[in-house]
Amino acid sequence: MNDSKLHYADYLELNKILEAQHPESSKKGEMAHDEMLFIVIHQVYELWFKQILFEVASVKSLFIDYVDDKDLGLINARLERVIKILNVLVSQIQVIETMTPQAFLEFRDLLVPASGFQSLQFRLLETHLGLTWKERGQTEQQFFNSRLKEEERKILDEALAEKSLRTLVDEWLNRLSTLKLGLETFWDDFQKHLEETFEKDEKSIQANSTLGEREKAFELKNLQDSRESFEALFDDKKYQTLLDEGHVFFQRESMRAALFITLYQEYPLLHLPFKLMQNLVEIDKLITQWRYGHALMAKRMLGMKIGTGGSSGHEYLRKTAERHTLFRDLIQLSSFLLPKSQIPKLPEQAEKNLNYYLQLK
């Protein structure tokens, strides 16, 4: 028990929080009513960013070197909390959209050159999740160098020097691929099964009398694209080319492990790993959704004007939403999926290893 007479307001330090709104317009002699909303919204964003960073840091700590199986549930619970928070951030855009463009113009010029681009916490969040310096592009790098304070750049550099969550997940999946599950010949068998499936599908398309030559060519092209996607998983050189060109981030064995987990997700020992990957994809989706929402809001508020930080406003925000997809490798797993009816049956020993198996004597 706490013997001190702890008070609610003191515990939450409400005096600091509730007295931290100082509209620039009021300093000029006439308060712009909606500036208070603008400040509070962004302060709330920063508080939620702090909580997300706290959760991501804890998840990263559980991934370093070795992931204890019993921690997978905890990791998923914390990622699901991040998802709930991101849903709040996305819906919060509706609140700031109650401010009209004209009301924003009452105080907008007073904010220059301050900008949400300078949110160190959001930049740290991107970095800890997996966004690299190279992926930011030259224009974005220049903005960082000119807009962030020197001490903020140092903090960001320290974050960039750490392993990101994306890297840690890649390493974890790579380690999973080496587990002895009675699958020594699985990928050879899987590749053979795929070839048989593709050949069967090709013959089916060619024999389909309801398709014209143009439709057949289209279907065959789609089939060939699927073939080539799968081939990279079985060819070191082809996959290395994808890595070198930046089309993929995860190692080949990591992708194979992720594909196996996805294909056979119904097995008990794969439930939590599959859920973990799905949670990462959902986080990626919500951050992209938030970026797009922010971009549309900027377009509504600013039109073709530049942002207060000197960026191209809506156009910049739209492009970053499209470009900064952190777990695209997991999203692209759908390119490699087969219908359940076409998935090869696992060897008996592998099934036992992936189930909660009790051998009765």
CA distances from 23 to 27, 37, 117 (A): 7, 10, 19
* Residues 6 or more apart whose Cβ sits within 8 Å of residue 59: 75, 78, 79, 165
Q: Per residue in 137-165, pLDDT tens?
A: 777 777 777 778 889 999 999 999 999 99
Q: Which residue has the tokens 């000119």?
A: 146
- Determine the Cα–Cα distance for residues 195 and 220; give it in Å rounded to an integer: 14
Asked whether residue 137 is assigned to any structural domain, the reply reads: yes
Note the residue count of the chain. Answer: 361
Asked whether residue 24 is assigned to any structural domain, the reply reads: yes
Q: Per residue in 58-103, pLDDT tens?
A: 999 999 878 888 899 999 999 999 999 999 999 999 999 999 989 9
- Determine the Cα–Cα distance for residues 337 and 263; give it in Å rounded to an integer: 7
Residue 25: its pLDDT value, please?
94
Residue 1: its pLDDT value, please?
64
Residue 360: its pLDDT value, please?
45
Contacts for 51-59: CB closer than 8 Å, 24+ residues apart:
51/85, 52/82, 52/85, 52/86, 52/125, 53/121, 53/124, 53/125, 53/128, 55/79, 55/81, 55/82, 56/82, 56/125, 56/128, 56/129, 56/165, 57/128, 59/165
Asked whether residue 111 is assigned to any structural domain, the reply reads: yes
Residue 19, domain CATH: 1.20.58.480
Asked whether residue 230 is assigned to any structural domain, the reply reads: no
Residue 104 corresponds to which tokens in the numbers above? 């924003």
Q: Per residue in 33-50, pLDDT tens?
A: 999 999 999 999 999 999
- Determine the Cα–Cα distance for residues 199 and 208; give it in Å rounded to an integer: 14
Asked whether residue 198 is assigned to any structural domain, the reply reads: no
118: containing domain = 9-181+250-354
Asked whether residue 58 is assigned to any structural domain, the reply reads: yes
Do 159 and 144 meet the contact criterion of CB atoms below 8 Å apart?
A: no
Residue 65: closest CA among 146, 175, 227: 175
Residue 310: its pLDDT value, please?
46
Residue 342: closest CA among 156, 228, 196, 233: 196
How many domains are contained in the chain?
Answer: 1
Residue 112: its pLDDT value, please?
83
Residue 332: its pLDDT value, please?
86
Residue 361: its pLDDT value, please?
44
Do 79 and 283 meet the contact criterion of CB atoms below 8 Å apart?
A: yes
Q: What tens-digit pLDDT sequence spans the chain (361 residues)?
A: 666 788 999 999 999 999 999 999 999 888 999 999 999 999 999 999 999 999 999 999 999 878 888 899 999 999 999 999 999 999 999 999 999 989 999 998 898 888 887 889 999 999 999 998 888 877 777 777 777 888 999 999 999 999 999 999 999 999 887 676 767 778 888 888 888 888 988 999 999 989 899 999 999 998 888 888 788 888 889 999 989 988 899 999 999 999 999 999 999 999 999 999 999 999 999 999 998 888 888 888 776 555 444 445 567 677 776 778 899 999 988 877 777 887 888 888 888 888 876 554 4
Asked whether residue 189 is assigned to any structural domain, the reply reads: no
Residue 303: its pLDDT value, please?
67
Question: Rounded to 5 degrees, what are φ and ψ at 171?
Answer: -65, -40
- Determine the Cα–Cα distance for residues 263 and 333; give it in Å rounded to an integer: 10
Angle (nearest 5°) at CA 144 between 139 and 150: 150
Asked whether residue 361 is assigned to any structural domain, the reply reads: no
